[in-house]
Amino acid sequence: MQGKHLYEYAVIRVLPKVERDEFMNVGIILFSKRAKYIRMLYKLDTKRLSSFSTELDMDLLRETLLSFEKICNGEKASGTIAQFDIPERFRWLTAVRSSCIQTSRPHPGYSNDLDQTVKILFEELVL
């Protein structure tokens, strides 16, 4: 992707106990309307998450993150939301939730290489 692209990104977080407001970053969603770009990267570190809570259902977390990824990629088998256009999918994925998987508020930026930017953000904010 050539040229400077305005993008937005949000950090995906797992809150083992929502009422405690403690979270662990597990992924990134990056979106650029003009470039028609959306990408999600995530890593579920089950050992680290278990230090927050032993009650977490890791299989359910994996399934939920996988469904987020399928929606992000626009996989038609994932239902109606996956068929929305890219900006609508990003807005749906980053909507405020009170569940154990949430996202940060979207943050803007400029990038000459969106693929590289999402990797850098993932390394800095998640790994």
In the predicted model, what is the mean pLDDT of residues 11-35?
A: 93
Domain count, the chain: 1
Residue span of the structural domain in which 41 resides: 5-125
Q: How confident is the model at residue 30 (pLDDT cuts 50, 70, 90)?
A: very high
In the predicted model, what is the mean pLDDT of residues 5-14?
A: 97
Distance CA 97, CA 73 (A): 21
pLDDT digits (tens, 9 = 90+) for 69-88: 999 999 988 788 999 999 99
pLDDT, residue 44, reads 95
Distance CA 127, CA 82 (A): 27
